[in-house]
Every structure is written in structure tokens, then in C-alpha cells.
Structure 1
Amino acid sequence: MRFKRIEFTNYRCFDNGAIEFAEHPEEGRNINLVFGSNGCGKTELLFSFTWALWGYDFKKLSGKEQTPWPLSARLYRGLQEGYIGVSEKSSVEVVFEERGTTYRMIHAVTFTKEGSRVKQGPDEYSFSWTDEHGEYVVPLHDRKEINPILNKVIPLSTLSGISFDGERMQRLSQITNESKATVKSVIDNITRADFFDSAAGLFDKLHKDVVNTIKKRSARRSFSLGNEQDLDRLELSIDESSGIVDQKEQEIATLAERIARLENDKAHISIDLEDINKSRELIGGQKECERRAGELERNLEEREDDFRTTMQEQGYLLFSGQLLDDVRAELKESDVPTGITAQAVQELLDSGCCICGEVLDDAHRATLRRLIELLPPLSINGTLRSHVDAVDLEMSKTKARLKENSSSVRRAQKELEANEARLQEIRRQLEGVDDKRVNQLYESYVDIEANLRKAKEEQGEAEQIRDRERDKLKQLTEKREAIARGSSELDDFSRRKVFLEKAQRAIALTRDRQRQEALETINDNLQRAYATVSEDARNGRSLWLVQSDRAREYQMVPFYRSQVEEFLAREGTTWDAASMVDRERAVLAYGESNSTGQSKINTFAFVRAILDFANAEKDAESFQLSRSYPLLIDAPFGDIFDDNLLMSSRELHAFADQIILMLARQSYEGVSREIGPYVSRCVELIKDESKGLSTIQEAAI
């Protein structure tokens, strides 16, 4: 199957325009690249295929154009403000080809101003096709006629299985109804589940008719033999047991659906709670940042106080350098003899004579005594020089101390700023976290767990009653058939009944075997695909698609091969020799959870696995069909980094014969070497902010 063209008229965020898709498989170029920055309509484009073919609930596109209608918001507002009777039509046309037949689907809706409100008209469809011989079929307009044909080409659940945006990629590896429906749809489509269902329905009807015939003719024979009362009682018992079996089958089916819904709700709440637990970790980080902020502020205040104290007590020394230089210069020029000290004068006074030999009189003695009082114990020059050196040393220490204080202040300021930045980032991430909602989620989770346990207990009890009544019904039926023996006509109908029951079992067994083989093949594909897109595969990590565990059916479980092989070795077997059930039991024993980026890588592997399965040539004797589906994918590389990004982008071209890839240009730059060689056509979505509309333009890569 290939998409050939999509055209928009007044649809959502798009101005009128079209995209022609091109492939050049002979050159290995099979990627149609659509550039678009955030808000330009990449996701709108992705889901326009679904709306055109099957319809889509636009309320699911949270954060996109805030209207739940296909009509563009600008035109819708114009209708609201316009005159009564004015109308606008929104439509999408999709042209696609499958096995030589070209199909054309147009989905349109008209909106009209009626009174004070804008009324949405009914969905209008035009579905036509031209076969490989050029024969044109008149368009169909009734969905009851369109759906069976469209289901054979691209069922809704299969279309969902080949259409991915980043959010869906993250969630697909979780246990959800969506992921289960996607896997089941692809398997049912390839294994001809519709054929088996039709056959089973036909044989069920034939079996019911034969049983009723036997019942009526046994009654006539019983009457002729005179034991009609025994047969009447037997028929009443058969009807009663049959009614109980049917009732319990319905109860079991209803409970199975309820359990599936509860498991789905539980999975979604688990995802939300995982996000909330991350939020709680952020809250813990916020409290730590707030506590740290107090410490850092106190530390900053202490550093600033140290700086101020040093400046107040010794800051004057910073300005003493010139003074000290001046004192040193004066000392060099001073005429005070270096040797004149108080001790030298005292020795002269004690000798009683001048150094010239003259005896000191009282006047000389008095003068020398006053000189001793004025002179320091050492020389004046030496004292001043010592004092200058001491001040100089203290000044150097003060400068170093102030420099260290200044550096400490700056470091404290930077730490405080970094802490504040982290605190603001945490607060930003915590916007919208509601403690009340957290409590409600936990309460809902507990209620779901309780309801699950109760539903599973009721299911088990219903299965026991059903199985008991089945055994009873079998015995009663054998008694009735014993009465009918001896009549060649009844014997013939009994043989028909046995044949039909064998046919019913054969159909069920063949359908189950086809499904089992398909799942085993997809699992093998999944592990091979994972090895091509995940760097963790180098360390022995792999993926398993759950097959037999009903509660986790169709979930992707990461595991390490070495751990599983050790488990199997203890069981006395190997991976190659073990049955699928034993492998799965070992995988589930050591299975892991998925991180955001790893979930996307798992989905990459899953998409590759189901597309490889669909596209593979099937055995001529097999009931399975080969289906070549395209891949529509929007912004797949977010939260994927390093070798995971390199490997997944390098392998993307091999996923399908046609790939429609939607990316922002800046995202493409990181994978251009891996994607570029396989691009067959490139367009770009350009948004006119003044109109709120995106146009489709040719682009270069």
C-alpha cells in the first residue's frame, strides 16, 4: 500500500494545499520528508490521514489547535461572528494505491451559522477506485458500504499501528488497550482472522441447525417408543445446562473485557504515578535547594562580614604603600648618625669624659641625660626601617586576606545563583502538579487493584461453573443420542453433528496456531530489530512481546539474555530448546521497566518487527497474506541520544517501502547524514502567525 496524495480544504491549521508523495525505490529513496517547526501542523498532518479514512476525535490532540472540529479555527470564529445562513466546508482527500488499485477517499463536513450557534453537519464521504485495468467504480457514499472494502485495505487499528507521534511512541510499549489493539489488528489482518471468523460463524449456524433437527426428530422417535416423558425431562436438563454454559460464557467474556479495561486503567495510572513519583523527586530536590539556599546565604553573609571586618580594621594599610615608600626615601637622606643610640650616650656619660678627652661638666651631663630620654634603644634609622618593614608585611597579609575574602564572596554568590537557577527549573517542571490529584490517583490505583482481584475471582468461579456444566451437558447429550440410535435418519444427523463439531475445533485450532506462529515470528523480528536500533543490545539486552500471560498480553518487556539463559539452565534447558511458554516465563521473571527514551527505542523495534512481518513473503500453503504498509511518523527522535539516535535514524529507511517522516529542521540536522540519502521528496509547513494558518511549500534538504 502507498499513499499517493493528500489535499486539504479549510482543514484545521492548514491553508488550502496538497502534498504529493513520491518514491524512488530503484534508487533506494523511500522517505517523504515534511519539515515543520513546533506548532506548524506536523501532528495535525499525521492524524489527518486517520480523519479522512476513518474519522478522528480531535480532543485527543491536546496542546494542538484548540478546536474539536475539522474546520479551521479562523473560519469557525468567522462563522460565529458572521451572518445567519453562512456556511463553510472542511475536507480532506486521500489518494492511495494497493495491489494495482488506486483508491480515492474524500471526507468532508459543512458548518453553518444557525441562530446564535454554529452547527456541524453530517460527515460526507466519497469513496471510489480505479483498478489495475483502468476500470473506474462509481463513488460510494454510505459508510456501511465503504467500511468492508476499506477494512480489507487499511483497517483503522492497522492505520493506528503505522501512525506514530512522539507521545504515542513513548506509550506504545506500556500495557494499554491501544497497544493491544494495534498488535492484534496487524496479526488479525495478516493471519486472515476475518476468514476464520466467517468460517466459524457459518459452521456454528450449521451446527445449531443440526442440533435442533436432532432434537425434534428424537422427540418424534421417543413418542413412538413411548418414553417421551424421559426425553422431555432430558431436553429440559439439556436446555438448562446449555443456558448456564451460554450465560457463563457471556459472564466470562464480560469479565475479560472488564479485566482488560482495569488493566489498561491501571497501566495509565501507573504511568501517571511514575510521572508523579518523578515530581516527588523534584519536590525533594526543591526542598534540598531551598535548604541549601539558606546555607549558601548564611555562608555569603559570613564571607561578606569577614571582608567588611578586615576592611574596617586593616583597610588603611591598602593605602600605606606610598607613605612607606616616602619614609624609606627620607631615611636614605636623613643626617642622623646611625650609631647614636641611648646606650652609646649612656656609656659616654658613665665615663665622665667626652671622646675628645674633655671632662664633662654638669651642663654637658644634663644635655646627655635629656638626649638619652629622646633616643630609642636602637638607632633611629634602624627603628624606623624595622617599623616600615613590619607595616609592609602586614599590608601584604591584609591584601592576601582581602583577596581570599573577595574570592570566597564571589564563589558563594555563584553557588547561590546556580542553586537558585536549579530551584527555578524545578519549580517550572512542577507547574501543574496537584497534590489533590496525586491522592486521587493513589486512591484510584488501590480501587482498581481491589476491583481487579474481585473480577479475576469472579472469572475463575464462572469458568469452574461453565466447565462443570459443559461436562454435564456432554453426558446429557450422549443420553439423548442413545435414545435416537436405531434410526438411520437420526444416525445420519448425529454423524453430521460430530463432523461439524470437529470442523469447529479444527477452525479454532488453525486460527490459534496461525496467531501463535505470527506472534513467534513477530517476537523473533522484534529481537532482531532491537539489535539494529538500540545500543543496549550490545550489552545483551533484548525485547519480548508477551504472548501467553493474559494480564500482560502484547506488552513489550526488556530483558537481559544472559539472565534469562541462566534461569533456563537451572530449569535444565536452553533458549533454543525451550518452548515459547518457558521462554516467556523466564523473561517475565527478569523483565524490566521502560524509561522515556528507551520506550521510544522499544517502539522503533516494535514498528520494524510488525512491518517486517506484514511485508514478508508468506508460504503458498499458508492462510497468511503479505501486506506492504507505509509508515507515518512524527518527531520520533525526541528523548533519544547518542548511539540510540544514530542507530535508529540510520535504520529508519529500512522499516517500510514508503515512509512519511515529519521533523523540525533542527531535529533533522542531527540525523541528516543518516536520513538524507533516502529522501525522495521534501516539503515544509510554514505558519503565517497573523492568520494562524500553515502553508505547504516545496523545500530543499
Structure 2
Amino acid sequence: MSQLEIRSLTLENYRQYAGENEIQLQTQSDKSVNVIQGENGAGKSNILNAITLCLYGKESHYDETKDNELESYPYVNRGVLDEVGDNEIAEGRIEITLGEDEPEYIFSRSFRTVKLNSSSFSSQHGELQLKEKRGGDWKSVEHVSTRLNQILPVHVHQYFLFDGERLDEFFGEGYKNRVKNGLLDVSHIELLERGISHLRSFEDDSEKELSDVGDAAERKRDEYEKAKERINDLESDLEQTKTNISETKNHIQKIDEKLQDSANPEVRKKQQRREYLIERLEDIRDDIEEVRKEASRELVKSGPPLYAVESLDFTLSEVRKLSEQGKLPPKIQDTFIEELLEEGQCICGEELTEEHREHLISLQQEMSTVVENNLEGKMAIPGLLQDAHEDAETLMEKRRKLAELEDKEQRKNKELNEISEQLKAHDIPEDVDVQELEKQRTEYEDQLEELQEGKGKLEVRIDQAKENRDEKKKAFNEEVSKEEKNAEILKKMQFIGSSRDELESMKEDIISSVREEIETKMNNYFNEIIWKNEDYTVTLTDEYQVRVEGPRNDNKIGSLSAGERQVLAFSFLAALTSVSGFNAPLVIDTPLGRISSTPKRRLAQNLPEYIDDTQMTFLMTDEEYTDEVRMKMKSHVSNEYKLEFVDEVTEVVPYE
């Protein structure tokens, strides 16, 4: 294996792992998979937590359903803590050996827990340590974070070390932000962004150097500064509105959770239906926005020929009539004029003067142009008409599709309103006040609608304010450029601005290129590992919307099952890791948790192949790693381990 891999993981007194537990994970070139199988509670997920704690000082995948206070769930194994007295300390460590063909790096982090009493603890971890092999010897590395960032930076580690069970939530509400953040994380544009920020700051500093500008310029400067302040105020209002939107959504989510926990099955059923409809409605609205943009682009492209159809039809008809009458091409032929010029005299016998010759030559050129234009027009107009009719049909198809989507949106909204009214009328005594909750939910929905409308208006006003700022800046620059020394500063500012614009353009080009590459890979991965015998087209739009289109070209993302959403999320993360450029292994907790038995077997067979030449370590429950799944994966597996959990202590043993 040419990729970097985890060769061994050592856990000493960490959580369920008492004493020193070393897990060998180096793989063979044709078997890139490790499997560690354990029942829930045996410490399977804590292997993933140990890796993130060691490398980044954080247990990124801690089970939030458990008590998350360190006092009750300490780093150090509880059995080890039982052996020490109150206010005494127990210690442990995590060590990860990385390398390609041989060990190259040893990352380690120690931790300690103070036993305050039999049920209260305080835990801390130490600094990350690194030893690197140089010339056969292990040397300590001072700038550990620099080297770690070269291998697997903190801002991308979640795409290599992740909880598969949570992937079902990835394409839930707000997924476009998660997709966008993932794409930006792997685009390697940090230097460009720093450069853009530096140039913007340099431009502001240069602007302050302008002096002796006069009263007129000072007035224009004041207008320009006020225009900039206006943008800052509007952007501040926009951020506050976004915060309010997020808080309102959280209120709605909490109400939904209470309704979902209702003791009444009818209430739970209606709430589940509503959650499905809301999710589907978001996809429909995304589709509506996309189709509207496509229709607008089509209208811009096809508008001129469509508006000119009647004129083109009339022109073509007239040209054909004149051709049939013999008036086009004109009866004065090039050859006839050429003969007159060669003979040097008119048909009446009069000698041609220089003035006559110039007139004939001009007439010859004019007739040639008329003939050429006549032929070109007769050839071009039918093509223009055909394009216009085709463009009109395309535009009509977009409008039909838009009407269908808007009809779907209306029907979904109607059903949502019906569910809301039914829940408001619900008067069966139970553990939650459904009527009051639904009333509150409606109020929050109204508030959310107002906030989102306000957000849209603010975005428009910000765009307008930026246009106004640019106009004020131009007027100010024109005024101050009258002073020679200011003109030099303005030239410098113009150069800085041009450089910044160039970097912005490069940034957008890189993001666009990465988006296209991720789209291609995500489409390939999804179709490779999905278990259904039909082809899908997965696309990633400029607006970070993911579409999963079936044979009928309808977006199925809102109706995917939990397992299918998990596969889609797998495919997206696989695409991110593939284009990221980082040479790092994958560790996936619960990769098959939400997938039913029949597709699980096929996925188990395809999953190890979907990222070539990369070490993958799967942390699986006994319900995931069944005998059938094991047989499907056997040809790809180098190491198999089982977690045996007895008396709060886990032992890692070979799988038999």
C-alpha cells in the first residue's frame, strides 16, 4: 500500500481499555480493510474517539445520548480508578503509529483523571507529542501541529474519521451549508483567502494616504465612507437575522421532538408525515429555484430570435417572392459589367470615360454585395427560425416543469396546513399538550417566514448598497486624481484592486473545478455502491444543491431511505477525501448501521472498493458484521478483531 496508514493503535487505561492494548492495523497491498467488531457499549466508538483525542485533543464522536460530563465518564478506566484513593491521580495514554511501507510517525498524548470521590472525577489531557523516524532513529519533533497539518489538518479530519450512523442526518435540513463547507475545506484555498484579505487591508491603508484633496473631494470621501458604513450596518443586520432564523428553527425542532415523543400514535404519525413533507418541500423549492434560473438563462439566449420571428418570417417570404419574380438576384449581372469594362465603350458606342468606369466598378461591387447578402439571408434565416422554434420549445418545457413543481409545492403546503389544523384540534389528554405545542409551532413558522423574507430583502439591499459604494468610490477617485501625488496612490490602489480581483477569480475557478470533480466522483461512487438495479444521476449545483435523479429525471433526494441517504453521504465524503490531496487513512464507525439486511450484503462487497489504495478501518457491531457480510468482505480484509467486554473492561482479541 502506497498510502499512509495507521500501522498500530495503543490504548492504555483509556475508557473501557484497562492496561495496555495494542491493535496492529497494517494492511497488505491487496487487502486494505481492517474490521473491529464489538457490541454496543464494548468500546467500539471509543476507538474512533481515541484517535481524535490523540491527534486533536477532542473526542469528536462521543455518544451524546450518554452523560457527557467528564465527572461521571472519565478518561481513565473506571476499574483503574477504583484502585486509587480520593483526590489521587490515575494516568493513561494513546499512541498512534503511522507510515507507508514502514513506521514513520508516532503520535502520542497522555491524559490523567483525578478521582474526587467514588462518583466524581476530573479529567485532563496533555500536549500532543510526535516522534519521526530519521535515518533509522526516532527523533522528537518540536512543531507537532505543523507536521500534523501536512498529514491530516483538523479542518478536514471529519471527512476521514467519521461516524457512519450519523451520515443519515447529513442530507437533512440545511445540508447545503454542510456540502459547501466540505467543498471549501478540501479546496486548498487558504493561501488565496489570506492573500485576498491582505490585499483588501493594503488597499484600505493606501486609501488613507490620500491627502490635500480639497473640499469637493472631501465631500465625495464623506459620501463614500457613509456608503461603506451602510454596507457594514446592513451586513450586521443580515447576520442578526440569520441568527434569529437559526434560533427560530431550533424552537420548531424542539416542538417537533416533543410531538414525536407523544404517547398518541396518531400524533406521532402526523408528525412523521410532516417531517417528511418539510424535507421534501425544501427539495422542491430548491428545484423551483434551479428551474427558474435555467428558464432565465434560456430566455436571455432565445429572446432576440423569438421577438424577431414575425420579422424573419416576413423577410424570408419577401425574398422568396422576389426570387420567383426574377428580381433577386438583380438582373444586372457581374459578367455584363465586366464586358463593358473590357471593351471600353457603352452599348450605344460611346467611349467610357474615367468617371464612367468608376461608376461601373462601383455598381459591380454593389451588385456583388446584393447577391452575396441575398444568398446569405436565404441560407441564414431558416436556421434562425428553426433555432427560435427550438428555443421556444425548450423555454416552454422549462415553464411546464416549473408549473409542475409549483403545483407540487402547493399540494405539499396544503397537506402541511391540514396536519397543523388537525393537531391544533387534538384534544385527547396525554403527556404533552398537542394543541398548545401546535399553536406555538404555527407562531414560530410565521415568525420564520417573516425572518426569511427579511433576509431576502436585506440581501437585495446589500447588493444595491455595494453598487452605490462603487459609484461613490469612483466619483471620489476621479476628484482626488486631479492631484498628481494622489494620482500615483490611485494607480497603486488600482493595481492592488486588480490583483485582488484576479485572486478572487482564481478562487472561484478552483472552487468550480473542485465542485465538478466532486460531482463526478460522487455520481460514480453512489452508482457503484448502491444496491438498486437502476442508474441514478447525482449532480452538485453551483448553489450546493445535491440532486439524485432516477430514470424519470425527478429529484429523489427527499424520498431516499435512511440507508440510501447514508450511501449518498458516504459517496460525498469519499469524493471529498479523494480530491482533498491528503494522504490519510479512513476510520468509519458503524458503516452499515442504517442499512437493511439485503442491501447490506451488496454494500459490504462494494464499499471496500469505492476508494482505491486507501486503508479503511471499519468499527462494526455484531448486527453489521454478520456471517454473510463477513464472507462478502473477506477478500479485502487484512485484520479482524473482536471486542470482548467483561466487568467494564474491554479486551481486543483476534476474530475467530
State the TM bucket, normalised to the shorter chain. 0.5 to 0.7
1:660 maps onto 2:602 in alignment: no
Partner deviation per Cα, 1:486-508 (whole Å, 9 max, x = no partner): 44432222122122222222222
Residue 25 of structure 2 is aligned to residue 21 of structure 1: yes
Report the 3-state secondary structure (helix = DSSP H, G, I; strand = E; otherwise coil) of the residue aligned with 1:511: helix
Corresponding residue for 1:231? 217
Asked whether 1:671 is paired with 2:629, we answer yes
Note the residue ranges of structure 2 that are not aligned, 5 or more in a row: 271-429
Kindly report which structure 2 residues correspond to 1:243-254, keeping only aligned pairs within 5 A, or say none: 243-254=229-240
SS at match of 2:583: coil
* Distance in 2, Cα, partners of 1:523 & 1:97: 31
What residue identity is the alignment partner of 1:476?
K
Deviation track 1:23-43 (CA, whole Å, cap 9, x = no partner) reads 212xx1001111223322111
Residue number in structure 2 paired with 1:698: 654
Secondary structure of 1:174's match?
Answer: coil
Q: How much is the aligned-residue C-alpha RMSD, in angstroms?
A: 3.7
Pick one of 202, 211, 222 that aligns with 2:198.
Answer: 202
Cα deviation, 1:37-84, whole Å, max 9, x if unaligned, reads 3322111212221222220267634259994432223344555xx344
Choose from 104, 110, 121 the match for 2:106.
104
Amino acid at match of 2:552: S
Deviation at 1:192, TM superposition (A): 0.9
* Aligned-partner Cα distance in 1 for 2:492–2:505: 20
Cα shift at 1:240 = 1.7
Q: Distance in 2 between matches of 1:99 and 1:521?
A: 29
Q: Which residue in the other structure is 2:15 paired with?
A: 12
**Correspondence for 2:376:** none
Structure-to-structure mapping, 1:589-668, within 5 angstroms: 591-614=557-580, 626-641=581-596, 644-656=599-611, 657-665=614-622, 667-668=625-626
Per-residue deviation, 1:168: 0.9
Q: 1:398-413 to 2 correspondence within 5 Å? A: none
Q: Secondary structure at the match of 2:173?
A: coil
Q: C-alpha deviations, 1:169-225, integer Å up to 9, x for none?
A: 322232357x844x44543343212122111122112111211112xx2xx2x3xxx
TM alignment of 1:489-500, pairs within 5 A: 489-500=485-496
C-alpha displacement at 1:12, in angstroms? 0.9
Distance (whole Å) between structure 2 residues aligned to residue 437 and residue 63 of structure 1: 27
Report the counterpart of residue 65 of structure 2 in structure 1: 62
2:584 is matched by which residue type in structure 1? Y
Give the CA deviation at 1:660: 0.3
**1:684 is the counterpart of 2:642:** yes
Give SS of 1:91's match: strand
**Counterpart of 1:124?**
126
Picking from 510, 516, 537, the partner of 1:514 is 510
| C-alpha contact (below 8 Å) 1:649/1:674 kept by paired residues | yes
Find the partner of 2:432 among 424, 432, 436. Answer: 436
Looking at structure 2, the residues matched to 134 and 495 of structure 1 have their Cα atoms a distance apart, in angstroms, of 57
Is contact 1:646–1:674 with CA below 8 Å preserved after alignment? Answer: yes
Q: Which runs of no fewer than 5 residues in structure 1 stay unpaired? A: 223-227, 285-433, 565-586, 615-625
Code of the residue aligned with 1:662 in structure 2: it is: L
What residue number does 1:34 align with? Answer: 36
- Is the Cα contact below 8 Å between 2:248 and 2:448 reproduced in 1? yes
Task: Tell me the alpha carbon deviations over residues 298-322 of structure 1, each in whole angstroms, 9 at most, x when there is no partner.
Answer: xxxxxxxxxxxxxxxxxxxxxxxxx
Taking the TM superposition and a 5 Å limit, the aligned residue runs for 1:312-391 are none
Higher relative contact order (CA 8 A, sep 6+): 2
Question: 1-side partners of 2:119 and 2:261: how far apart?
Answer: 40
Separation in structure 2 between the aligned mates of residue 458 and residue 526 of structure 1, nearest angstrom: 35
Tell me the amino acid that sits aligned with residue 631 of structure 1: L
1:171 to 166, 169, 173: 169
Residues 81-132 of structure 1 show CA distances to partners (whole Å, capped at 9, x for unaligned) of x344x11123322233489994433333322245898552543113324266
Q: Secondary structure at the match of 2:22?
A: strand
Work out the percentage of aligned pairs sharing the same amino acid. 14
What's the counterpart of residue 459 of structure 2?
Answer: 463
Cross-structure match for 1:356? none
Residue 592 of structure 1 aligns to a residue whose secondary structure is: helix
- Structure 1 distance, partners of 2:257, 2:513, is 31
Inter-partner Cα distance in structure 1 for 2:114 and 2:597 = 52
Is the contact between residue 176 and residue 267 of structure 1 (CA under 8 Å) also seen in structure 2?
no
Structure 1 residue matching 2:14: 3-state secondary structure: coil
Matched, 1:562 2:552: yes
Partners of 1:175 and 1:263 within 8 A in 2? no
**Structure 1 CA distance for aligned equivalents of residues 586 and 83 of structure 2:** 36
1:39 and 1:438 mapped to 2: Cα distance?
35
- For residues 260 and 519 of structure 2, the distance between their equivalents in structure 1, rounded to whole angstroms, comes to 27
The C-alpha deviation readout for 1:430-468, integer Å capped at 9, x for no partner, is xxxx85287787567545533432332332333333333
Give the structure 2 partner of residue 318 of structure 1. Answer: none
Structure 1 residues 282 and 45, CA gap change in structure 2 (3 angstroms)? same
The alignment of Structure 1 onto Structure 2 pairs a total of residues equal to 488
Q: TM-score, normalised by structure 1?
A: 0.61
The structure carrying a bigger helix percent of its residues is 1
Q: Report the AA paired with residue 619 of structure 2.
A: M
Aligned residues of 2:114 and 2:123 also touching (Cα < 8 A): yes
TM-score normalised according to structure 2 size = 0.65
How has the CA–CA distance of structure 1 residues 112 and 673 changed in structure 2, closer, same or farther, with 3 Å as cutoff?
Answer: closer
CA separation of 1:251/1:155 partners in 2, compared to 1, >3 Å: closer, same or farther? farther
